[in-house]
Amino acid sequence: MFVVVGFLISATYIKLRYRDLHSGKLGFAKNSQFYCGIMCRVFNVEVRTKGHPTTDTNFLYVGNHMGFVDIFAVSSLIPALFITSQEMRETPVLGTLCEMAGCIFVERRKRSQIMNEVGSLAQALRDGYNIVLYPEATSTNGEQVLPFKKTLMTSAAQANRPIQPGVVNFLEIDGEAYSMNTRDSVCWYGETGFVQAIWQTAKAKNIITEVEFLPIFTATPDMDRAYIAEQVHSAVKAHYRPPAPYAELAPLEIAEES
């Protein structure tokens, strides 16, 4: 609770201190990175990395999504603005937290607005922000990487910015390999409510997760959006480890944190 209050106070200060939109959004992104690092410690989440995000320019991060734990993990590593739904904005408490994190809201219920939203995302990329997109468009039970929604990914091509694919893998939970028995500590899916999901994560004494940054994918305006989505999805899927027993996994050799 104290962490949330601290986050809201600092975000409010940023909102009042920086009148120009650009500085404010950068402030929100860095503030979220700082507090997500704290939240990882609060929830006993150890974040390990494999590879590095591109440093040549800002980017559109595209990856898999299982729940709020992977949001904390990714945000703790890169200052970024997250894309989420207008429905989330309308959700009590969560909507406020998303707004104060500088999230970019998209209206998935009105397909007629989608191209305007692509244009807005492209402009945000041109303005220099890292943006995080979860194109599965939902959090999952971890059994697979769902097909990617295509359209929003074309914003990277419009902005002439790379797509930075990323994969979140959970390695261990309370000393056990990530499995069907332990996944509810990190996956938010089905009819599980927010409070219940938080409680299930809070009960875990140690969560080891790995964020792997894959080689960038350069999308161009002449590329078919289905091709872009397929290429990035294939890369993410190839590096994702679902919970046992849905995959025949070799014994995990957990590397030291990099």
Q: Is residue 256 part of a domain?
A: no
Give dist(CA 178, CA 82) in Å, integer. Answer: 26
- Residue 248 located in a structural domain: no
Query: Residues in the chain, how many?
Result: 258
Q: How far apart are CA 48 and CA 64, in angstroms?
A: 16
The residue type of 56 is D
Query: Would you say residue 210 has pLDDT above 90?
Result: yes
Q: What is the average pLDDT score of the chain?
A: 90
Model pLDDT, residue 19: 72
Q: Please write the tens of the pLDDT for every residue from 69-87.
A: 999 999 999 999 999 888 8
More confident residue, 129 or 97: 129
Cα 243 to Cα 164, 222, 248, 254, 255: the distances in Å are 24, 37, 9, 16, 19
With tokens 């872009």, the residue in question is 228
124, 130 Cβ separation under 8 angstroms: no
Structural domain range at position 102 = 2-239
Closest by CA to 66, choosing from 183, 232, 235, is 183
Residue 86 belongs to a domain: yes
Q: What is the pLDDT of residues 143-186, one digit of tens each?
A: 999 999 999 999 999 999 999 999 999 999 999 999 999 999 99
Q: Note the pLDDT tens digit of each residue in 220-252.
A: 999 999 999 999 999 999 999 999 885 444 454
CATH number at residue 142: 3.40.1130
pLDDT at 249: 47
Query: What total number of domains does the chain contain?
Result: 1
Write the DSSP assignment of 39-71 as a string of letters: HHHHTTEEEEEES----SS--EEEE---SHHHH
